[in-house]
Chains A and B, each alone.
Chain A
Amino acid sequence: MTPLRFGVVGCGAIVTLHQLPALQRCRSVNLVGLVDRDRDWAAKVAKRFRAPAAYDDYAQLVGKVDAVLIATPNSTHAAIACDLLERGIHVLCEKPLATTGEEVDRMLASAERGGARLMTAHCLRFSPQMEMLKTVVDAGWLGAVERVSASIGGPYEGVVRRTDFRRQRALSGGGVLMDLGVHVLDLTMWLAGRAPVQVEYAGSFADGWEVETDAEVALRFPDEGRASLQASFSTPLGNSLTVRGAKGWARVSLYVPTELTLFAEEARVCRQAGLQTLRLADRNMYDAQIAHFCRAVATGDAFRVRDTEVRATLDVIDRCYGRIAA
């Protein structure tokens, strides 16, 4: 497979801590340039990760790259992605893909026009415990999914970050629901395999924030399945996800990739020995995500993160924020 010439737009903490090391490790990637509004910072990061060029404008990547990773503040994703996609450059975009469903539609239309591919970097879908959970749910070990509960987040002070865009509505496009809650929303709808018909939302704001710092979302699915999700920038939460089905349950910690606990009442092994803790091979989810993106671009295979799923997630966020009727 010819390596993809890759550029990175935005050099914040997620990029320097996780995405660039993963891009460096990926054999299907040839890292050609980094972009940040702060060119000096881009140059520093480029030197550290041995990228040959650093720019302060993403347009300078055009003609030099096959694909880019966009990791800029949320509200800028759509404009940058649309421009690059129209020029035929494949885009892997940090979550949330956009700040509204309408922006997602525009991005998909641009991808169509430019003949390029667009995937949202919902990294947790590539974490081994989540992959196993999806396998368990799809294999029917738990029966039909009846309830999903999940929580994500902790005090914002502990979040490694280079800028404070998350506090400003104009840049973030939303609060903790948009930033962290989108992870558990995406996982919930991916695992349930369907979009909710009813959405309830409650958010609260801490001092100094233009957006909500705590969010609770309740979803009801067409077949009476339910989900209750929590996200917070103020309170340490469990950072776990539990799926209850008609015939069992499974629980994972969001940040412990190597374990999944489950009880499936019809599973022979659970009838014999009760709940089971599955041990999974440790694998870096960012590595897996980049490898998947490159492979799918090369082969034309579908992305694991589907456009319709991303659109449905943004639709829920729009409903939570009252942009469309819940």
Chain B
Amino acid sequence: MTETRLLTLEQDGWDRAARLRDLAGRIGELEWLDGAVARAVIHVGSAGRCTLAVETAMAIVAALRERAPGLRIELLDLAKAGNERHGVPHVTLDHDRTVVVRGPRGAAVQVPALWFEPFFLVTVAAVHPDSRWRIGGVLQAQAEVLAFLNPGAPAGLLLAEAHRLGASDLAIACGSHSTTGDWWIASPSDVLVEGAVARSAGLDPRELPGVRAIARHELVSSWEAEHAAPDLRGVAAGPVAAAILAARERGAAAGRRTLEDVGLVTRNLRKVPQALRRRLAARRSA
């Protein structure tokens, strides 16, 4: 039996609430919620946020509550201030509760201290055109946590690090089509969801700037999985703007690195007199 790694669902004339219950039920049957044991965080992506994304998140909350009544469930919704929604407490990102993690290429990013605790993460993202990523979806939603904590850091780095360090246990992309209604693509793999959205939009997933940022360091999932795709043609922004923005980001990052290097060199030069004094003191005492 082949393991199902991607679930695609369209509204098909169903009532939205019923279809959402159906979606959550199917996800449960696929055992994709089994990892939610003690604590779950449901993250609703800010960019392109819509009612459907919030309702999808709440459907997952309901399914989790039904499966594990003792489960601690929290919402992460950067676009919505407040302490709770429908009885689900909000997780707040606090600049004082962060840890700086050094990445594989030496770049450091601030991550929430929360990431060092055990929890099950579900990310729900409303798919929308995005000039930087062409398609804004779950990868962008995951990265917004790091973007909040690391203002000004290169978006490509943050997207790749969010995937490397904080990829969702369950990723759900959703949207509404003008003729066929709501649709959802879900998977335990964030990259697979992003790829499926790209294919549905008529793009080669490997051409997506977000996937490329990840594929620089990681063998990304196979895209060959066939699925009944919603028609998402027209959801992607053009490639030119994405390329210009990426180039601008690279230039800014190089500038920042140069400034950092200059700062470090200056700091080291300032240490020289003290080091010399220390040497002389050692020599005198010897």
Contacts and interface: CB of A to CB of B under 8 A. Distances in A.
Interface stretch (B97-105, B180-188, B249-257): B97-105
Query: How many B residues touch the partner, as a band?
Result: 20 to 34
B219 interface: no
A290 interface: no
Interface stretch (A195-203, A275-283, A300-308): A275-283
Contact of A269 (B102, B166, B285): B166
Contacts of A269: 101, 111, 115-116, 165-166
Contact of A278 (B101, B164, B166): B101
Contacts of A160: 278, 281-282, 285
A266 B118 contact: yes
A252 interface: no
A162 B116 contact: no
Contact of B108 (A17, A141, A267, A279): A279
Nearest to A266: B118
B72 to A, nearest CB: 14
B166 A272 contact: yes
A264 interface: yes
Interface string A94-109: 0000000000000000
The B interface is mostly helix, strand or loop, or mixed, namely mixed
Contacts of A17: 278, 281
B281 A16 contact: yes
A273 interface: yes
Contacts of A264: 116
Contacts of A141: 116-117
A271 B117 CA distance: 10
B117 A268 contact: yes
A139 interface: yes
Contact of A267 (B102, B116, B121, B167): B116
Interface residues of A, number: 27
A170 interface: no
Interface in B6-24: none
A13 B278 CA distance: 9
B119 interface: yes
A272 B190 CA distance: 13
A278 B111 CA distance: 10
Interface in B159-173: 164-167
A161 interface: yes
B278 A268 contact: no
A16 B277 CA distance: 10
Contacts of B286: 157
Interface string B123-167: 000000000000000000000000000000000000000001111
A299 B133 CA distance: 52
Contacts of B100: 278-281
Contacts of B121: 268
B99 A278 contact: yes
Interface string B81-121: 00000000000000000011110000010010101111101
Contact of A279 (B102, B165, B167): B102
Contacts of B118: 266-268, 271
A273 B102 contact: no
A133 to B, nearest CB: 12
Contacts of B113: 139
B5 to A, nearest CB: 18
Interface in A223-275: 259, 264, 266-273
A272 B117 contact: no
Contacts of A280: 100
Contact of A273 (B119, B164, B278, B282): B164
Nearest 5 interchain pairs by C-beta:
A266-B118, A267-B116, A269-B115, A279-B100, A277-B102
